[in-house]
Amino acid sequence: MNKEVRLIAKPGAHIIAIGRDVFSFLERNGLGRDVKSIMHYSALANATRNAAVMGREAEFLAFSETLSMQDIVDVAAEVMQENSISVAMSAETITRLRKATLSESRKKLAFIYSTVFAELSARGSAQG
């Protein structure tokens, strides 16, 4: 697996396992890089999302008041363009996102992911 990661990942790229099962698989298969595990995005993880925000309610509230579905659409479009995603796939993704709603639970997930990504970015800046 290290060979495949070296083939596709930029040097210093973070590897993010979405969910415990993926994280366990990567560990079992000897991925020799630092892997960060983040919560799975399943709607079944609502209780876990609530627990992850507990004690950080004020920080979450400030975050959630600034987040909109249009923000997510805009960032998704930018990321897909920067990474040369096909026009067809980008259009399909943007169409799906425009139909989505931003529930309290999804805002919590975005907050949790944002926190992890900021931590990884800070760690990368400190190393660079």
Q: Which residue has the higher pLDDT, 61 or 29?
A: 61
pLDDT band at 49 (very low <50, low <70, confident <90, very high): very high
For the chain, the helix, strand and coil percentages under 3-state DSSP, each to the nearest 5: 70, 5, 25
- Whether the predicted pLDDT of 61 surpasses 70: yes
- Look up the pTM and report it: 0.78
Question: With bands split at pLDDT 50, 70 and 90, how would you rate the model's confidence at 10?
Answer: confident
Q: Please report, in angstroms and rounded to a whole number, the separation of the first and last CA atoms in the chain.
A: 25
Backbone angles phi, psi at 9, to 5 degrees: -95, 145
Whether the pLDDT of residue 32 is over 60: the answer is no
Place of tokens 């259009």: 91
What are the residue boundaries of the structural domains of the chain, listed by start? 1-38
